[in-house]
């Protein structure tokens, strides 16, 4: 697992708990933004006896043990390459499971895990985006919420920097998609990022890093 950018915990602390959980799960699962935005409880298998459908295959997948460790599986019903008939399954290890256990508590199969209404309820404010509040975030709105948290963190750092020296680097906004693709810059890191994101070819990660 690649380390988070310096100060990233400060940005997470600026978010409502459910939005912070959303970002953590995306990073731990190496997920595309649309995958985390659309996640429904019924697409996530947390036990070997809890199968979930694998879209357009007529098959199911379920959580399984790997080397004695239980791995949860998430099979999104819609994803970036489903037009090509390629099923997608995302694995979650123990760290992501801890976050998802809290985020998904009490949800029904059709419920969106990271629903905007739940995030707004935690933040105790209404919808600040124009238009009707949707059941799920889209990439633009999700990315903007993350950017706002980073902006608040940077503003606090600049204020502290005015009072003392050596406060630390200011965070740069992580453009969606795929935060790990942007962390992968360097002579060897693109290979790490490609593995985390599940890309079969290194050329895909090059596109994200431009």
CATH number corresponding to 8-177: 1.10.443
pLDDT at 106: 92
In angstroms, the CA 48 to CA 73 distance is: 10
Distance from C-alpha of 157 to C-alpha of 163, rounded to nearest angstrom: 10
Question: Which residues contact residue 63 at a Cβ distance below 8 angstroms, ignoring those fewer than 6 apart?
Answer: 45, 46, 47, 48, 50, 70, 71, 72, 73
Residue 77 has a pLDDT of: 87
End-to-end CA separation in angstroms for the chain: 22
Structure tokens at 11: 């940005």
Enumerate long-range contacts of 155-159, CB under 8 Å, 24 or more apart. 156/10, 157/7, 157/10
Q: Are 83 and 93 in contact (CB under 8 A)?
A: no
Instruction: Return the pLDDT at 127.
Output: 54
pLDDT at 19: 94
Model pLDDT, residue 166 = 46
pLDDT score recorded for residue 207: 47
Name beta bridge partners: 54: 59
Q: Which portions of the chain are predicted below pLDDT 70?
A: 1-7, 81-85, 125-133, 163-210
Q: Torsions phi, psi of 141, nearest 5?
A: -70, -40
Contact 32, 178 (CB under 8 A): yes
Domain positions in the chain are: 8-177, 183-209
Two tokens, residue 197: 């994101």
76 vs 134: CA distance, rounded Å: 18
User: So what's the pLDDT on residue 132?
Assistant: 58
In the numeric block, the tokens 């490609």 are attached to 194
pLDDT tens string 162-173: 755 544 444 444
pLDDT digits (tens, 9 = 90+) for 4-53: 566 678 889 889 999 999 999 999 998 889 999 999 999 999 999 999 99
């Amino acid at each position: 697992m690649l380390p988070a950018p310096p100060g990233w915990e400060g940005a997470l602390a600026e978010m409502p708990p459910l939005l912070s959980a959303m970002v953590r799960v995306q990073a731990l699962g190496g997920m595309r933004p649309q995958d985390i935005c659309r996640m429904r409880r019924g697409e996530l298998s947390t036990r070997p006896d809890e199968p979930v459908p694998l879209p357009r295959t007529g098959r199911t997948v379920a959580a399984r043990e790997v080397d004695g460790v239980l791995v949860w599986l998430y099979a999104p019903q819609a994803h970036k390459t489903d037009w090509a008939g390629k099923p997608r399954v995302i694995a979650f290890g123990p760290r992501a499971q801890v976050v998802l256990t809290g985020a998904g508590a009490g949800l029904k199969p059709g419920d969106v895990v990271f629903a905007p209404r739940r995030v707004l309820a935690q933040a105790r404010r209404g919808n600040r985006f124009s238009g009707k509040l949707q059941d799920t975030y889209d990439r633009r709105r999700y990315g903007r919420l993350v950017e706002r948290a980073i902006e608040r963190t940077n503003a606090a750092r600049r204020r502290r920097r005015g009072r003392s020296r050596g406060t630390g680097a200011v965070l740069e906004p992580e453009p969606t998609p795929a935060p790990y693709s942007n962390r992968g810059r360097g002579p060897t890191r693109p290979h790490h990022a490609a593995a985390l994101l599940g890309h079969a070819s290194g050329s895909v990660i090059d596109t994200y890093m431009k």
